[in-house]
Amino acid sequence: MKKSHCQVEFFGLDFGVRECEVCTKCNSEYLDDEVMAEVEKEVKEKKLFALDRKITVTKSGNSLVVRIPPEIVKFSKLHYQDILRLVPITEKRIEIEVLS
């Protein structure tokens, strides 16, 4: 392991460059407990803590439907009839971008 600096991101929000340790074999980045506590504090202050949700895909006619929980709607500032872009990144990952 070697000391370095890494970019910290949570829910796509930038929490800046922080001290970290990087594995010299696999390049994995690790934050120490103090840095992690700082980031967690900022996450809680921005009310992002526990925004991730497991949801069930439902069906409406021939389409599949995903409901967005109200906490995520509020955080993302989504509104009824906003335009979104849905992009398949991999077979197991889909990205949603708010266009309007």
Q: pTM to 2 decimals?
A: 0.54
Please compute Rg for the chain using Cα positions. Answer: 18
Cα distance between residue 63 and residue 85, in whole Å: 16
pLDDT of 22 reads 94
Phi, psi of 36 (to 5 degrees): -60, -40
pLDDT digits (tens, 9 = 90+) for 65-96: 999 999 889 888 999 999 999 999 999 999 99
Is residue 49 over pLDDT 80? no
